[in-house]
Amino acid sequence: MTHTKQIKSALISVFDKTGLEPIIKALHQNNVTIYSTGGTQDFIKNLNVPVVAVEDITSFPEILGGRVKTLHPKIFGGILNRQDNESDVAQMTEFDIPQIDLVIVDLYPFEKTVASGASEGDIIEKIDIGGISLIRAAAKNFKDTTIVASVDEYATFLGFYTENNGSISIEQRKLLATKAFHTSSNYDTAIFNYFNTEDTYLKISEEKGQVLRYGENPHQKGFFFGDFDKMFTKLHGKELSYNNLLDVDAGVNLMNEFKNNEPTFAILKHNNACGLATRQTMKEAYLDALAGDPTSAFGGVLIANGNIDVATAEEINKLFCEVVIAPSYDQEAIDILEEKKNRIILVINDVDLPAKNVRTCLNGILVQDKDNITDSAAILKTATLTAPTAEEIEDLLFASKICKHTKSNTIVFAKNRQLISSGTGQTSRVDALDQAIKKAKTFEFDLTGAVMASDAFFPFPDCVEIANKAGITAIIQPGGSIKDELSINYCNDNKVAMVMTGVRHFKH
């Protein structure tokens, strides 16, 4: 290691003292002079380690209820001085400024305070001023000063310090400075987003980054930034891939539409549902979801809205699938599913999803509100002389939920709360319809009495005519075409029920 510096003095002022004791003892063992404030100073004293109060350096007490502790030229001069600069060295002597080689800080928990539902007054008091200033100063001067900017870095620093016998290399100081600037920028982003009410500003900072095996394809690097462990408990299986995560995301968003329903099971492939059913038992829901497209189900992502029991697990175990997700499992069901060593088994926790969708576009970023509208009976407007039956309305809303989470252009067929087939991601709605009819026939479904959902309006009556001739008796669509009457007239002439929602659900 080059440019290694021995630590002779340290300023320690932290909120979270977990893991701090071994550092204090290691510094003391190497005769390091320790400066501190408030609660941290008391913590160090209780370890029977000598500590110098910051106010003994500054000749100025903590003021304003502790809001001002370290903001003083003698502190920041000790951190920011350049030890190879003659003028800096002279001023250090002139103003009797002590050298500070190490700064250890852990900021007030602003994000946790916001998440706790605390009052605005309590939240404001958790905006750290002195700590963030110490971090930036020490990180800027990493050539001469070592910065430990959060409790997450305590162990890293202690490892460096121990292996170097009380010294830190320039490479290690720069690494810790990098982590420090991440801490400060993430902290500032959280504060800004708390205050921000303008949709035209976007600041994103994710603390937890995971390197994936690769991206969408093996020649692409892939990363996931987010708190996966907060959302899921992983019980078994290999690491999730980039594509697994996309399918899991699609599955979670789709199943949220059926969160409070009777047992519902979905099978997804390439972000689209290839099977979904609601039944009296989870086993029945799984089997009828699988029947929707047993070919596409191979290698898919499976998700349930309730507990997976032994009977369901035994059926799932007959299928090669990448991921199984549920809010809970019987222990014996877990044992069965774990028989396939690579199968990923996830318990989904009740966590709020982001309110915005974000994606790269050209040389920038597209942001939109999440599509949080779920079509309900209350918004349906019957556009035809023939009204849908109660059973058809139930199936229409069932199909609409699936349609909302399927790539445009899409057509979805459903019957008796079962996904019969769908046409996904087609360049024309007629192509999507033809694909759905072909798939239904392939798996020997009778479309007589089935319903159809479309993610957008019909500009011509061709789709409703084709659907009607295939056996469809009720249709749900947003409406809004200047030629809506053409589709309505066809339905009236052929006793097909059509309802309009006034809500389009494109998904590109």
C-alpha span between 472 and 399 (Å, rounded): 13
H or E stretch covering 158: helix 154-163
Main-chain dihedrals φ then ψ at residue 34, nearest 5 degrees: -115, 130
Any catalytic annotation for residue 140?
yes
Burial 13-23 (b: 16+ CB within 10 A, else e): bbbebeebeeb
The token pair at 111 is 């994000």
Catalytic pick among 72, 140, 174, 236? 140
Which residues, in sequence order, are CB contacts of 258 under 8 Å at separation 6+? 264, 266, 278, 305, 401
Residue 301's alpha-carbon distances to 325, 329, 345, in angstroms, are 8, 16, 10
Identify the bridge partners of residue 364 per DSSP, sorted by sequence position.
361
Cis upstream peptide for 196 (omega within 30°): no
Closest CA to 74 of 9, 18, 24: 9
- DSSP 8-state symbol, 500: E
Closest CA to 189 of 230, 118, 181, 150: 181
Phi-psi region of 165 (alpha: psi -120 to 50; beta: other; left: phi over 0): left
Any catalytic annotation for residue 270?
yes
C-alpha span between 406 and 506 (Å, rounded): 8
The SS3 assignment for 97 reads: coil
The token pair at 188 is 């500032």
Catalytic pick among 72, 182, 270, 340? 270
The catalytic residues are 140, 270
